[in-house]
Structure 1
Amino acid sequence: MSRGTKLSLDLGASWGEGWSVEEEKSSKTFTLLDPSAHRLVFQKEKRKGKIVTLVGPFSLTEEEAQKTLSVLKKSLACGGAYKEGWMEFQGDISPKVREHLEKLGFKFKK
């Protein structure tokens, strides 16, 4: 290429010739369940060297989940968060969490 000429990068079809990008809309149905219809599981993860206990998946509204999480955090004296249908608790406290959730009417897979 000599000095003064520009490199042309126009290859293939252009967007003006009828090409379009269609986004596929996901039709995930979110059903709300009462506590006795839940089948929860526990998972443990290590994040930054600390153990985190995950409980879920919950099928609750965001408001109900935050209320339940708030009650659990106060009774367990630990930190936690609600993300994407899972409740996260700081520490390895699965027996305590199970006990408190069973009192609230939730059920677990065996």
Structure 2
Amino acid sequence: MSRGTKLSLDLGASWGEGWSMEEEKTSQTLTILEPSDHRLVFQKEKRKGKVVTLVGPFSLREEDAQKTLSSLKKSLACGGAYKEGWMEFQGEIAPKVRENLEKLSFKFKK
């Protein structure tokens, strides 16, 4: 290749019509359930050497889930987050979380 020419990298793909880099959003319908209709489970994970307690799946509106999470974090004196229908709490505190959620009329799988 001589010094003054450009390298052509056309491989046959067309960036013209019909090609889009945008992802199509799928519409997920979330069924909102009453607290007594939930059947929650616990999971325990280690993240960066620390134990994280996961509770879910919740079928609540985002604002209701955030209110519930906020009240739980205050009563348990721990940190946490709500992501994709699951509540995450710092530490291995499953019995305390279960007790507080049962007070709010949530139910758990046996």
Please say whether Structure 1 and Structure 2 have the same fold, judged by a TM-score greater than 0.5: yes
- State the alpha-carbon separation in 2 of the partners of residues 89 and 6 from structure 1: 56
Aligned-partner SS, 1:88: strand
**Structural RMSD (CA):** 1.6
For residue 97 of structure 1, what is the aligned residue in structure 2?
97
- State the alpha-carbon separation in 1 of the partners of residues 26 and 79 from structure 2: 33
Aligned residues with identical type, % of pairs:
83
TM-score by length of 1: 0.88
Residue type at the aligned position of 2:33:
L
For residue 84 of structure 1, what is the aligned residue in structure 2?
84
Aligned-partner SS, 2:52: strand
For residue 19 of structure 2, what is the aligned residue in structure 1?
20
Question: Structure 1: 5+ residue runs without aligned partners?
Answer: none
- State the alpha-carbon separation in 2 of the partners of residues 14 and 51 from structure 1: 49
Task: Flag the 1:13–1:99 CA change in 2: closer, same or farther, 3 A.
Answer: closer
TM-score by length of 2: 0.88
Question: Structure 2: 5+ residue runs without aligned partners?
Answer: none
Task: Flag the 1:8–1:61 CA change in 2: closer, same or farther, 3 A.
Answer: same
- State the alpha-carbon separation in 2 of the partners of residues 69 and 12 from structure 1: 52
Residue type at the aligned position of 2:46:
K
For residue 73 of structure 2, what is the aligned residue in structure 1?
73
Task: Flag the 1:68–1:19 CA change in 2: closer, same or farther, 3 A.
Answer: closer
Residue type at the aligned position of 2:18:
W
- The answer to whether 1:63 aligns with 2:78 is no
For residue 8 of structure 2, what is the aligned residue in structure 1?
8
